[in-house]
Each structure stands twice: as C-alpha cells, then as structure tokens.
Amino acid sequence: MRDAHVWWAVAGGWAIDLWLGEQTREHHDIEVVVRGSDQREVHDALGAQWALFCLDPPGSGWRTWSGAPLRPPAFQLQARSATMGLEFDLFTETVDEGVWRFRRDQRIGRPLQEVTTLSPGGLPIVRPEVQLLYLAKSTEPKHQHDFELTAPRLDRAAAEWLASALVVTAPGHPWLARL
C-alpha cells in the first residue's frame, strides 16, 4: 500500500491487535481501508502486481474489478497475488470535505485525521473506537473478544465517542453498559 500514495490504514481485527501491540486471536483475513475517492489511484498502483476483484452489488460473488468506481452501497474490493500467495480486502470509505462518514449510518462522522492512528510498529491503523463501532454490528465471539480486550484501554474521549455512536446506531447495545 505504500506505493499507492493514498490515505490507507489496516482495519478489522488486525487493527485492534496492532493497537494492542500483540496478536490476541487468529485472523482469517487482512482488511485495509481507503478513501472511496481514491479508487482509481488504488487500481493504478496495485493493478500491475495484483489481481483485483470487487463485490458489486453487495452480496454478489467476486468479479474482476476494472477500476470503475464502486458506488454505495458497494464498498468491498480484494487484491490477490498468486505468485506471493497473498490476498487482502480493501474497504472504500466515504470521506467528504475531510470528514469520514460511517458506512452504516451517515449521521456518524469525524475528521479523517481522527479515524486512524499509528500502531506501535508505525503502521497506519483504524482507531480502536472506530473499529469497534464496525464490529458492534455482529455478535460473533471474536468481536466480543476484541471489545473485552480493547474497551478497558480506551481513553475517556475514545470510550465516549464510541458510546455516543452506539447510542445513535445501536441503542441498547450491550457494550454501552461497559463504556
């Protein structure tokens, strides 16, 4: 991703583990976020070395991505390298005038520079409170695991932001009592 010269960050469970500074569970994939407006640059930077795919419309199967911009509700791309035996998902994020908008509820937003931070190793990662907001949709044990390890380490501002976002997007969510 360094060669893409776009805003990007590691997301998902790896973002949580990188923020915690250790791998706390198994991960079945790697997820990276990019600005939706940077899709052409991502395609140009990765297309020569990676096979690129998209889910458009959501719920469909993977198909070759030509670089044509995905439009919401579509957001998921994938890069695969047979020679390296690697693949990772790319999620396109809505950013308008420097403000990131939560894909599932546009009422939730924050300045783009407050969506990511650097891991102890220097990789850009989605901030834990933002990642937990995405994970809150599912009751999978791995997401509860991530919350249990992360919530006690959030600073007051991060915990308050997550709680206020959950009040809007998931009133009555069980995590609210802990936050």
93-98 average pLDDT score: 96
Q: Is 63 helix (H, G, I), strand (E, B) or coil?
A: strand
Can you give the pLDDT at residue 38? 97
* pLDDT surpasses 90 at 82: no
The residue segments making up the domain with residue 79 are 2-178
Q: Is 130 helix (H, G, I), strand (E, B) or coil?
A: helix
Task: Please tell me the pTM assigned to this model.
Answer: 0.95
Higher pLDDT, 150 or 84: 150
What confidence tens digit (pLDDT) does each residue in 2-53 have? 889 999 999 999 999 999 999 999 999 999 999 999 999 999 999 999 999 9
d(CA 46, CA 7): 14
Can you give the pLDDT at residue 74? 96
Mean pLDDT taken over the chain: 96
Q: Compute CA 101 distance to the chain's CA centroid, rounded to the nearest angstrom.
A: 12
Taking the chain, what is the end-to-end CA distance rounded to the nearest angstrom?
Answer: 34
Q: Give the CATH number, domain containing residue 43.
A: 3.30.460.40
C-alpha count within 13 angstroms, C-beta hemisphere, residue 57: 1
What confidence tens digit (pLDDT) does each residue in 54-81 have? 999 888 999 999 999 999 999 999 999 9
Band the pLDDT of 169: cuts 50, 70, 90: very high
How many domains is the chain partitioned into structurally?
1
Can you give the pLDDT at residue 2? 81
Both tokens assigned to 60: 């469909």
d(CA 90, CA 43): 11
Give the ranges where the chain is alpha helix by DSSP (H): 12-20, 39-46, 128-135, 141-150, 156-169, 175-178
Can you give the pLDDT at residue 84? 87
